[in-house]
Amino acid sequence: MRCGNFVMNQILEAYKPMWSLNHVIALMGWDFETHMPSKGTEERGVADSQLHLLHKDLLLGSDFVGLVESAKKLEGLNDLEKGIVRVLNREITKQLKIPKELTEAESLERIRGNMTWRMAREKSDFMMYKPHLEKMIEIKKQIAEKIGYEKHPYDALLDSFEEELTVDELDNVFGDLTPHLQKIIKKLVDTGSPFLKESKLAKSNYDIQRVDELNHDILTLLQYDMKRFRMDVSTHPFTETMSINDVRITTRYEGIDFKKSISSTIHEAGHALYDLQCDQSLSMTPLQGGSSLALHESQSRFWENIVGRSLPFVQLIAPLIRKQVTFANRATDDELFLYFNNINADYIRVDADEVTYNLHIALRYEIEKKIFGDELSVSEIPEFWNDRMEQLLGVRPNKDSQGVLQDTHWSSGLFGYFPTYTLGNLVSALIVSKMRKDLKDYEVEIRRGNFKPIREWLRLKVHRYGSVYAPKALLNKTLNEGYNPDYFVTYIETKYLAS
């Protein structure tokens, strides 16, 4: 891309080495999870941190900061140029505010804490992990103070994952969403909903090679261009973007409950499509890729849940399933639909269905807010977790591995990250509501396997902009809405209670 402005062109030229470092860091990250021999870990760790330091030196170099500073004073910039200045300025400001000692302390604690957390989870022993959690929280509290905030210290951490996100806003979201979801679950239980009955399809072992073929068949149906995209296998599925023309996903094969593998594939493919459909002119600029974590998650959730678990989609892929999964060869479309949409209020977030999932996030949000508001000490967390889980989902974990120790996020210093999952779910429902108004044959096209209109709608309304606009500005501009829970509640009620 070239800008009409001399300073902006200089910025883009100076940014290229940073983009290249990001490119190679992403490639190394992908390799680490998929193909690297296990003994390569230590040297890879050194290479990775050295490249990050190099990136930071370039970003905070006086020449580059000077260019961005002078661009901030320019008038008459177009939206694209304003986007570049906004994104770079955010990154520079954040890096400048956090002293080197704190960054180092955090990355050291991340490695130690994460290792201890793994062992503690295995032994289900919170006390073993507790000193590390305390240390990490202490570091994050200091970081929040350095970054600064208007009202709540947690705001500083939220904003680093989702631009301009605040406690006030999330209090509104969860204050509205949580009671609605609890009411829906109660109704499902009271009426003995068929969605609550566990399918026998979840309990048989499948042939991994054949489900791998099935996943590839589904990607073909969804029209992924294998010249710009690929899929590998890892324990925890992820998407890694090297460039607009090289986006990679992974999926998982546990050998049992095949819907998990299919859902992971479609979820990650949804993330990938966001980056694949970013406008090519944004390639190698700071604007390449999605606007935020929540918007990225809205894309993965849209494909995984709203399309992937819909009746027309299940009907579309049913023949492929019957072909590759031998024990499902007589399952009817309706049985498969209920299997994909089984609801189960349980302890573990990553296994949660689309109705109960956001209650898991509500719990984590409450705890994080209390931690950073100095209302909850680390010793009190496990008990608080279990009490609230019982109130929200009606189940009480009887060991820490089912409760407070289940997620990796805190040990990696990711405080403020969880709420973006719920915001992503809300936006996915907002999207389908708006999309249905434009695409009258939305369901018919899915049943036919014609995903072009849906992909094109997403490209025009979301994907092509990359991060030209901050998430809220983009939602406002193209969907005329914010993080409004109404659409999600209506979507869930219509799907699970109307039938």
Residue numbers 274-313 binding Mg ion by CB under 5 A: 300
Residue numbers 318-337 binding Mg ion by CB under 5 A: none
215 or 324: CB nearest Mg ion: 215
Smallest distance, Mg ion to C-beta of residue 305, A: 12
Provide CB contacts within 8 A for 62, sequence distance 6+: none
Provide CB contacts within 8 A for 475, sequence distance 6+: 295, 427, 430, 481, 482, 483
- Rounded CA separation 216/230 (Å): 10
> Whose CB is nearest to Mg ion?
300
- Rounded CA separation 455/445 (Å): 12
166 or 298: CB nearest Mg ion: 298
Tokens of 177: 């969403």
Smallest distance, Mg ion to C-beta of residue 267, A: 6
Q: Which amino acid is at 304?
A: E
- Percent helix, strand, coil in the chain, to 5, is 70, 5, 25
152 or 301: CB nearest Mg ion: 301
353 or 486: CB nearest Mg ion: 353
Number of residues forming the site for Mg ion (CB under 5 A): 1
Q: Provide the CA 83 distance to its chain's centre, in angstroms.
A: 22
Helix pair 357-372, 167-190: axis angle to 10 deg: 140
- Rounded CA separation 163/156 (Å): 10
Smallest distance, Mg ion to C-beta of residue 104, A: 29
Is 268 a catalytic site residue?
A: yes
- 228-236 long-range Cβ contacts below 8 angstroms, 24+ apart: 228/276, 229/272, 229/276, 231/265, 231/268, 231/269, 232/34, 232/35, 233/34, 234/33, 234/34, 236/33
293 or 363: CB nearest Mg ion: 293
Tokens of 435: 């999309």
106 or 297: CB nearest Mg ion: 297
379 or 408: CB nearest Mg ion: 408
Kindly tell me the number of DSSP H helices and DSSP E strands found in the chain.
20, 3
Residue numbers 35-54 binding Mg ion by CB under 5 A: none
Smallest distance, Mg ion to C-beta of residue 239, A: 7
Smallest distance, Mg ion to C-beta of residue 245, A: 21
- Rounded CA separation 170/159 (Å): 12
Q: How far is CA 177 from CA 278, 347, 485, in A?
A: 31, 19, 6
- Rounded CA separation 299/268 (Å): 9
Of 217, 227, 222, give the one whose Cα is nearest residue 247: 227
Active-site position among 268, 297, 304, 366: 268
- Residue 13 sits at the vertex; the CA angle it makes with 12 and 15, to the nearest 5 degrees, is 65
- Return the active site residues: 268
Binding site for Mg ion (CB under 5 A): 300
